[in-house]
Amino acid sequence: MSTKRILLIIGGGIAAYKCLDLIRRLREQGIAVRVVMTKAAQEFVTPLSVGALSNDRVFIDLFDLNDEREIGHIRLSREADLIVVAPATADLLAKMAGGHANDLATSVLLATDKPVLVAPAMNPRMWLNPATRRNTAQLKSDGIHFIGPATGEMAEANEAGPGRLVEVLELVAAIEAQLAAQRKPAAAVTSSLLAGRHVLITSGPTHEPIDPVRYIANRSSGKQGHAIAAAAARAGARVTLVSGPVSLADPVGVAVLHVETAAQMMDAVRESLPADIAVFTAAVADWRVAGSAPSKMKKARGAGPPKLDLVENDDILRAIASSRTSRPNLVIGFAAETDDVVGYARKKRKSKNADWIVANDVSPSTGIMGGDRNRVHLVTASGVEDWPEMAKDDVAERLIARAAQHLNRTWVET
């Protein structure tokens, strides 16, 4: 996959310093970052620090003769896959909504035909001001994508409410989701392949409370399940994603139900049926703590560790795959294992009444749990296909293409 390029426009807000971390995180993900800073942004962070982290020159002046001759504001936009405005100040939102172009940042924004993602950050009263409400509504209807703001404490003392810049990792995930949404569908996946079909997907881990502050969890990132949901949406399906707690942005064009526990995931899945295809990617906890404590458990000297009574959670895959009334036409389970991956997957397919199992080796040495790549084996009634290692997005595209092909063939045959 060729390197993706972001043009990051940093506005003059107190949260501008977080862009230093953002740039570092994006580059860690292999995303190239070129930066434009507004005049006000330079009051908060220096172009020197930004340039050192982005490993590129920083663009600050519309009327810089050299810049304009060498790169130019039109080329800045043309050479990016996505424009990200973070932090987006109230002032920048107003200028964007009004179509102003009186500095380099706003000229690029007015001249671009690339997708634009804005992450607002400002005082809650600025965010809730009718002018900002109007500007935001206008920008949304113009097709500008928004992430945040988050709600919480402000940098100013005694200020809280909506207006915080979203967490940097959340912003990275939203940027990755926007870039993934631009990926051209694999040859087999056309935007009408699953038109009129409902695809239900579970993703991420579940959290099983021990007490109000502690829980049992696992290392699932949700990346594979979210990628499958995005691929199904690109294939034209109506998609419901039931997601456990993850730090990923909701995929574009997907209805997302956020849950925490296995029991909530089961309820959300049942409520989302009927579906044509169900893909159970989530790493659902097998056990929960019986009667989790209503208040925080205390450590008492000499008392030793508490005894946790575990009870089994309902098996979502088995329950839905065995349902007489609402079994989807194609039920796909995932088996993340560390030993005898394919052997276990074959048994799981039969014992859970699934049509297909996607099996993968999640031993720590593979880096698959939480990573961006996956190497899977597709176990069906006719045998096992060993897929080569590929990006989780590519696994998702291929799985959806296979599922659509299977479903369409089944419909023709029946």
Residues that bind ligand FMN in the complex, under the rule CB under 6 A: 11-15, 38, 40-41, 89-92, 121-122, 126
| Residue 79 tokens, joined | 């050479």
Active-site residue 408, yes or no? no
Pick from 64, 72, 73, 120: nearest CA to 97:
120
Is it true that the peptide bond before 185 is cis, omega within 30 degrees of 0? no
Query: Of 38 and 281, which CB lies nearer to ligand FMN in the complex structure?
Result: 38
Say which residues have a Cβ less than 8 Å from residue 227's Cβ, sequence separation at least 6.
180, 392, 393, 395, 396
Q: What are phi and psi of 192, to 5 degrees?
A: -115, 5
| Residue 406 tokens, joined | 């299977």
We find the least distance from the C-beta atom of residue 41 to ligand FMN, in angstroms, to be 5
Query: Of 135 and 224, which CB lies nearer to ligand FMN in the complex structure?
Result: 135
Catalytic residue among 55, 102, 135, 218: 218
d(CA 109, CA 118): 11
Query: Of 37 and 401, which CB lies nearer to ligand FMN in the complex structure?
Result: 37
- How would DSSP label each residue in 240-256? EEEE-S-SSPPPTT-EE
- Residue 107: Cβ within 10 Å count: 18
We find the least distance from the C-beta atom of residue 325 to ligand FMN, in angstroms, to be 53
We find the least distance from the C-beta atom of residue 279 to ligand FMN, in angstroms, to be 41
Query: Of 131 and 311, which CB lies nearer to ligand FMN in the complex structure?
Result: 131
Query: Of 90 and 331, which CB lies nearer to ligand FMN in the complex structure?
Result: 90
Question: Does residue 222 contact residue 262 with C-beta atoms inside 8 Å?
Answer: no
Question: Does residue 335 contact residue 357 with C-beta atoms inside 8 Å?
Answer: yes
We find the least distance from the C-beta atom of residue 114 to ligand FMN, in angstroms, to be 20
- How would DSSP label each residue in 371-408? SSEE-EEEEETTEEEEPPPEEHHHHHHHHHHHHHHHHH
Secondary structure letter of residue 342 according to DSSP: H
We find the least distance from the C-beta atom of residue 164 to ligand FMN, in angstroms, to be 9
Total length of the chain? 414
Query: Of 89 and 203, which CB lies nearer to ligand FMN in the complex structure?
Result: 89
We find the least distance from the C-beta atom of residue 12 to ligand FMN, in angstroms, to be 3
Annotated catalytic residues are 218
